[in-house]
Each structure stands twice: as structure tokens, then as C-alpha cells.
Amino acid sequence: FAFGGQDVIISDELSKEFEPEKHIQFIKKYSEDKSSYEYYMTEYLRMSGLYWGLTTLELLDKKDLLSEIEVMEFIRNCINDNGGISPSIDHDPHILYTLSAVQVACILNREYELPTEKIVNYIKGLQQPNGGFFGDKWGELDTRFSFCAVACLALLGKLDSIDLQKALEFVMSCHNFDGGFGSRPDSESHAGLTYCCVGFLSVTGNLHLINADILGYWLCERQLLSGGLNGRPEKLPDVCYSWWVFASLHMIGREHWINHDALKKFILACQDTETGGFSDRPGNMADPFHTLFGIAALSLMNHNGIKLINPCFCMPQHTISRLNLTPQILP
Ligand code: GRG
Ligand code: ZN
């Protein structure tokens, strides 16, 4: 456990049992209540919202609560002529939402309905001379998009359509002395971006390039006395880092380097037992993003009643197995 810095206190009254039925209702209500303030305010990321909601439901064996036909129709309406996919109808395409849409189609066993070649060409077109990827035509470039590119292509069975060597060089140029990774060369290590880079190395079979002990040490220093994990030194714990940090530890085979019981207790304390769903920290408002990552992290600890998740793709393991994908995991 790390001492000093900021943390929260998990008192006994915050100690909670896992309430899957409440979370199922939370996601169902969120997707049905199309006139709500939250629904309106999240239009710009709808496609990722769909991925968070569907994955949560499938981990709890309830994906049939969403209409497959409607979901695939929504995706079709978000595909642009250039092959990029938008978060919502009439929004601009972006690699983040392209990945979310492909993930959703795969979880529904309907990836064959996607225009694979167009999507692959869109992603190819975002790669830059330094090997990194733009997120979209506006030119923001960071390691999140490197992960999105290879994860998306791997799901489509087309990993060989980009310059993988150059892509790898860019990701490795963002590797820091402390073992973690940043968004661009010389950027500070951050757990979210570390997940993206470790995920990139896992998808492409390059995990041997890092020192797992040094990275593992940086990752396990993210655990605070509350049991929760933060994204970088001196920051508060947040349920989503239970995913970014813990999934990274799984990929490098160092998951036992943190205290599982304490983490479980922190995650369960972030449930809203009235509305359902998880928030970033105990007592805050629940949202679908933290709900997925809370449940996904519990899945990594083989929690009862949750299907197994794949630590690299953050998708049900049975989907990854069906696609014959074997992202690298270090022993
Ligand atoms: C398919 C699971 C999946 C992911 C797709 C987009 C993506 C890949 C991953 C996102 C990784 C991530 C959370 C990056 C964080 C970026 C960043 C620098 C956040 C800093 O935000 P602050 O400063 O947060 O608000 P902290 O917790 O550091 O205070
Ligand atoms: Zn968060």
C-alpha cells in the first residue's frame, strides 16, 4: 500500500454486498430513458456508452435486454463513407467510437455485418510517419489511439494491414524510466495510458520488450490504504483505475502484487445500492463507465455471478476465444 497523498476512508457502513440485479436495472433504465438529461448530455460518446452498457449486461448474462437489431441498426447509421464510425448519428467519426462499435458487433456475434475493408482503410489512414495514430482527421495523437488501432484491427482479423514495426516504435518511445507509459514521448506515466500501451504490446505479442518487475512495481504502488487504485502518484483512488491498473497487472502476470480483498472492498463500496451502478468513489453519482470497469475488475478476481473478462480487450473472454484471439499474457 502507498502511504501519504490523498485517499478516502472505507468505513464499515460503506461495506457492501455485490448487487448485480440493481446494476442490470441501472443499465437497462439508462438505455431506455432516451429523454433524460444524462442521455442527452452523453450523445457525443453514445457508441462507447453502448459498449460499456452491453459489456456490463453480457458479463451479468443479460445482454438480451438490449435489442440486437436496434443496436446493429444504430451502428450502421454511424458508419461514414470513409469507414470511420461516429459516436452518434451525424457526429464526426473517431477511432475511439470505431473501436467501440467493432467491440459491440463482436459481442453480438455480428461482426460479419460490418464493412471490414472500409474500416481497415480508415484506421490505416490515421497512422502517421512516427508510427503513432491520429484519433481522427483533426490530428490529436497519443498512445490511446495506438491501442484503439491494433485492438480494432485484431478484432477484425486484419492486424497486418498497418506498419506494425513503426507503431511499436512509437509506443516504446512513450515508455518511461519508472516502468509506466505516457500519452506521447516525454509525458508522465499514467495508468490509463499504461493500460493502452501494455494492451498494445499484448495484442501485438511484444510484452517481452518491457521489464515486468519495474512496471509491476509502479502499478502496485497505485494501491492506497483504502484498497482503491489511483492513476498516478498523489491522486485520489477511482474505480476505473481498478480496471486500467489491475488489467495491466494481469497482462504482465503480476496481478497478485496487490491486495485483492482490499480492492474488492473498495470497488463494492462504490456501488449505489439505491439507483444501481458504480461511481468513481464512494458516495458519488453512478455512471455506466464506472459500472463497467468496477464489474470488469471484479471479474478479474473471479467474482461470483460475473462472466470472465479478457484483460486486454475488456470484452467477455468467450467472445475473444470465439474470434481465436490470444493476446499475450506474461507468466
Ligand atoms: C476498450 C477498455 C477500452 C479502452 C479503449 C480510450 C482507451 C482505450 C483508454 C482510455 C485510457 C485512459 C483512462 C486514459 C486516461 C487519460 C488521462 C491522461 C487522464 C487524466 O485524467 P485526470 O487527470 O485523472 O482527470 P486523474 O485520475 O489522473 O486525476
Ligand atoms: Zn474514473
What pLDDT score does 29 carry? 94
Does residue 58 sit in helix, strand or coil?
helix
Query: Is it the case that residue 192 has pLDDT exceeding 90?
Result: yes
In 173-211, alpha helices (H): 191-203
Query: Is it the case that residue 100 has pLDDT exceeding 90?
Result: yes
Burial (0-12, 13-18, 19+ Cβ within 10 Å), 125: middle
The ipTM estimated for the assembled molecules is 0.95
- Does the global pTM surpass 0.95? yes
Ligand nearest to the backbone CA of 107: 1
Q: Is the CB of 190 under 6 A from ligand 1?
A: yes
Query: Is it the case that residue 233 has pLDDT exceeding 80?
Result: yes
Q: pLDDT of 34-90, one tens digit each?
A: 888 888 888 999 999 999 999 999 999 999 999 999 999 999 999 999 999 999 999
Question: Ligand 1: distance of its center to the CA of 193 in Å?
Answer: 6
Separation CA 230–CA 113 (nearest Å): 39
Question: Ligand 2: distance of its center to the CA of 123 in Å?
Answer: 27
Q: Is the CB of 237 under 6 A from ligand 1?
A: no
Q: Over the chain, what is the mean pLDDT? A: 96
Return the ligand 1 atom nearest residue 240 CA: 13
Where does the pLDDT of residue 116 fall: very low under 50, low under 70, confident under 90, or very high at 90 and above? very high
Burial (0-12, 13-18, 19+ Cβ within 10 Å), 328: middle
Query: Is it the case that residue 4 has pLDDT exceeding 70?
Result: no
The label of the residue with cell 473478462 reads 309
Q: Is the CB of 232 under 6 A from ligand 1?
A: yes
By alpha-carbon position, which residue is closest to atom 23 of ligand 1? 231
Dump the DSSP string for 91-114.
SPP-HHHHHHHHHHHHHTT-GGGS
User: 309-310 and 315-316: which strand pairing?
Assistant: antiparallel
Burial 199-229 (b: 16+ CB within 10 A, else e): bbbbbbeebeebebeebbebbbbbbbbbbbb
What pLDDT score does 82 carry? 98
Name the nearest CA neighbour of 207 among 174, 172, 173.
172
What pLDDT score does 39 carry? 85
Question: Ligand 2: distance of its center to the CA of 279 in Å?
Answer: 8
Q: Is the CB of 314 under 6 A from ligand 1?
A: yes
